Amino acid sequence: EVQLVESGGGLVQPGRSLKLSCAASGFTFSNYYMAWVRQAPKKGLEWVATISTSGSRTYYPDSVKGRFTISRDNAKSSLYLQMNSLKSEDTATYYCARPLNHYFDYWGQGVMVTVSS
Amino acid sequence: DIQMTQSPPSLSASLGDKVTITCQASQNINKYIAWYQQKPGKAPRLLIRYTSTLESGTPSRFSGSGSGRDYSFSISNVESEDIASYYCLQYDNLYTFGAGTKLELK
């Protein structure tokens, strides 16, 4: 059974950093691109980052480019999201998701990040 | 960047009704659209991919259609378990979600 379990969320002050983790199991992690998607409270979904199987290619929307960094450790079947220079508008539930033929087929349960002073 | 215009933002239906949600892309997305269901406090669930292909476990009352820039998603015979928010996702060029449609019971 595919499982994606996020961790590392919490309350952080504006301008500070936070690193999220996602532990994957139930599939061969190294064979799949991986992604992060977020959802602000009572708002819609927003794609945040995607990483290739080897980690050599990464993709971001303009809203987080230069501030967020996606990475992975295939030996640990783990995905990460380093978030720097956090803003109040980054407050959201962050989901780890697996792209299959590009669309997201499996999602984690999400982890909450609150950016506030 | 591709924009996705999803409508309506909310929908009120009676049990047994048929409802339809539309998504219009800012450019041709070559049928690369998926539809997700999300219930409060839960992660999104993939229902349909590549415009009209139902995921395993998706009831047959759900359907999708469209081409080019215009796509639709329908639920025939709405059931109580269908009360949720629905999102479209284009994955032709990176990713863009629609703003969502909240389905409520009338």
**Chain B hits for A105, Cβ within 8 Å:** 46, 49, 55
- Give pLDDT, residue A101: 83
**Chain B hits for A95, Cβ within 8 Å:** 43-44
- Express each pLDDT in B10-56 by its tens digit: 999 999 999 999 999 999 999 999 999 999 999 999 999 999 999 99
pLDDT of A100 above 90: no
Extract long-range pairs of B61-69: CB within 8 Å, 24+ residues apart.
B62/B35, B64/B33, B64/B35, B66/B23, B66/B31, B66/B33, B67/B31, B68/B28, B68/B29, B69/B24, B69/B25, B69/B26, B69/B27, B69/B28, B69/B29
- Interface probe with B: pick from A4, A22, A102, A112, most Cβ of B within 10 Å: A102
- Express each pLDDT in A36-95 by its tens digit: 999 999 999 999 999 999 999 999 999 999 999 999 999 999 999 999 999 999 999 999
**Chain A hits for B30, Cβ within 8 Å:** none
- For chain A, give the percent of residues with pLDDT over 90: 97
Say yes or no for a CB contact (<8 Å) between B95 and A47. Answer: yes
What is the nearest CA distance from B13 to chain A, expressed in angstroms?
Answer: 21
Say yes or no for a CB contact (<8 Å) between B100 and A45. Answer: yes
- Among chain B residues, CA nearest to A111: B43
Which residues in chain A (59-98) have CB-CB distances under 8 A to chain B?
A: 59, 61-62, 95
- Express each pLDDT in B58-106 by its tens digit: 999 999 999 999 999 999 999 999 999 999 999 999 999 999 999 999 9
Say yes or no for a CB contact (<8 Å) between A50 and B94. Answer: yes
